[in-house]
Structure 1
Amino acid sequence: MSNTTLQTRKLGREGLEVSAVGLGTMMIPDNEESVRTIQGALDLGVTMFDTADLYGEEYLLHRFGGNERLVGRALKGRRDKAIIATKFGVTHTQGPKGDPAYIKKSVDASLYQLGTDYIDLYYQHRPDPSTPIEETVGTLAELVKEGKIRYIGLSEAPADQIRRAHAVHPITAVETEYSLWSRELEDEILPVLKELGIGLVPYSPLGRGFLTGQIKKFEDLPPDDYRRFYPRFQGENFIKNLEVVTLIEEMAAEKGCTPAQLGLAWLLAQGDFIVPIPGTKRLERVAENFGALQVHLTAEDLAQIERISPKGIAAGSRFPVKSQI
């Protein structure tokens, strides 16, 4: 089941090398099937595992660390084979936090929850408007020197903040939403990442599952599914977005791949510094996503995709009004 020839990519200029496709664990439930999925993904060749201190089923109870515990449990005994990325900085009641005291408390908590003595890639989850980014990154640089973290990342940061952060200490990766229907970062952020040599880690690279072609009507979403609250899955937006997905499905059939593989192949073709982290709780989906590495897109293919799904094609905003996660 192992794949020793899996493609790898480098994030940033400091030497972090990861599998070309990672695994996002945000929506993975805490059970033994998920443990097997994470372990199976590692067997398949995934080395990049993405979590955060707020991920997990206990988040609504104001308890952090559930998903980190799951990832740590799954990778126990094989820690040296995995690259673990986690995040700090989103609170329940105080908004985004990035002050030194909060960071130091958060990193120690994450190390404990993960059952490890170092974090490979540590992201600020959201910008803190009340703490200068220079102060935040300065504290993270101290953690690098202490050996608690290896590389520094930012999540959903604007272009100017990325520049300021990178001037303090090299930023290895920026995590943000990027897919065929979320291309907002192409205007300002993508050029900055290319210029500074910073890696890009797209989350929701398959449009929160919409681009897989598995969701045909609103009722396909379970009653407790968080996506029911997202504008792109509602009403007229759903119908318009489904039209785009239908065209993607048709092109995927012509290419002999799945819609998910086509969407990921397009992302991978945007630059060798890009490492998408599709999330799934099923091992067969991990294997399918890896199949995107075998999909070759010609210039004509890329032009066709551009016609099908140009920037701004998605109907509806990325997030519900009161959510940015």
Structure 2
Amino acid sequence: MTTNQAIETKRSVYDTCDPQYLRALREAAGMDLFVLARISCLSIAQVRQLETDASDGFFYSDAIKRQAYKRLLMILGAEPPTVELPEALRDAAQVADAHLATLDQIVAMSEQPSLQRSSSDLVRAGFAKLNGHKQALGALLLLVIAVVLFLLNSPQNSGEAAATPTTPSPVQPVPISSAAELPPAVVVPAASTPVIPASAPAVAATAVVAPVVAASANMVTQAGACAYSSEAMPQLTPFTAHKEGRYVYLVSNANAEICVVDGNKQATVLQLKAGENRSVYGVSPWQVSSANLQKLQIYFQGGRVSLPDAAVNQVKLVEMPVAR
């Protein structure tokens, strides 16, 4: 096997997380599975998944899984794959010449004569640019003339309109005889006259109040659907705590409505579709409930929590001390 083939093989092992190669290295080193998990700051389930390529998702993503695999290989003494340098970067003289050429270009740009021009040169350059934009200057001049003419003519027009009014002033008092022609809602009765509401306004008020009452009842029902529960429920703790229990990470395999309540009894309702994930922050202990709880992946304190029974629809997550 050539050197390039050995490098490609080693890089393939790192990229594909080969479980047989990891198991062979651990057995050759004579290291127990539990000892390797403690040294690498991983759980036993995560190390076992890397050695058996199990389908259980004990890692948040494939990138985190590859990083954990590389950490285990480096602990067991495996060398990381090397990167082949191009021929141009192997010669120190060529690299030095390239750096010198870059510095020469920077110095040449800093000494351009355009940066050392006099004020007269700048004025000439400005006029040259203005000559190149004659059309824009003409349009701007026409716009200024139009604005000036409008301002000069507008006071005369307003004065003529004020001198010859054609419409009555809107401040004129309304005759008493026209009060009968106004709508009933405009006529205000005297204080001594008893106010008897008409049938039409009463029906309108009822029609407006009814949706408000229904909306308020609907809000109370929705708010009471997700709340702190004092009922007995299964208490779950992570196998090994790597993080503090300040948040819960949920991954849904199907469309589900989830209720999450923290230790301060702050309720959060999540509407997750298949493949979506969400984190909820707060304080421990946590209560997680859903009709499709078995379709969820619950991660707490850096690890996945397994549900005890298929019929369970609500669980309680209790925080454990973080392993140091």
Name the TM-score class by shorter chain: under 0.3
More helix by share: 2
Between Structure 1 and Structure 2, whose CA radius of gyration is higher?
A: 2
How high is the TM-score relative to the length of structure 1? Answer: 0.17
TM-score, scaled to structure 2: 0.17
